[in-house]
Amino acid sequence: MLEVTASSSHSDDVMIRSLRMTVASLKQSMDRRFTRLERRMHRQFVSVDKRLAAGDRRFDDLEARLTARIDMRFESISEKLDSIARGFNQRLNHHAQVDDEHEKRLRELEDSAPSA
C-alpha cells in the first residue's frame, strides 16, 4: 500500500519519531550541527580575511611606489622651473645692466651737448 504524506516535512517528522528523539536531544543535536557550521564558517571567513589583507598590502605597496614616483617627478619639475627662473633672472639682470649703461651714456651726451 502506498502512503501519501501531507507535506515534505512529514517524512522528517516520521524519522524523528522513529528515533524517539526528545526535544532536548533534538536541541543538543541541532546545537552540535550549528557549532560545527559556525566553526567551518569562521575558518572560511578567516581565510577570506587573510586574502583581503594580502590584497590590501599589495595595494598599499602599489600606492607607496606610485606616490614615490609622483613625488620624484614633482621634484624634477620643481628643479627644472627653478633652473628656468634662474636663467630668466640672469638675463633680466644683464638687460638691466645694459639698459642702465645706455641710460648713463645718454645722460652724459645730454649733459655734454651745448645748450642752445
pLDDT tens over the chain, length 116 residues: 455 555 555 566 555 555 667 888 888 989 999 999 999 999 999 999 999 999 999 999 999 999 999 999 999 999 999 999 999 999 999 999 999 999 999 999 888 877 76
Q: Tell me how far apart the alpha carbons of residues 7 and 14 are, in angstroms, rounded to a whole number.
A: 11
**Per-residue confidence (pLDDT) for residue 18, from 0 to 100:** 55
**Per-residue confidence (pLDDT) for residue 22, from 0 to 100:** 83
Q: Tell me how far apart the alpha carbons of residues 25 and 11 are, in angstroms, rounded to a whole number.
A: 19
**Per-residue confidence (pLDDT) for residue 111, from 0 to 100:** 87
DSSP 113: S
Cβ 44 vs Cβ 36: under 8 Å: no
Q: Tell me how far apart the alpha carbons of residues 74 and 68 are, in angstroms, rounded to a whole number.
A: 10
**Per-residue confidence (pLDDT) for residue 62, from 0 to 100:** 96
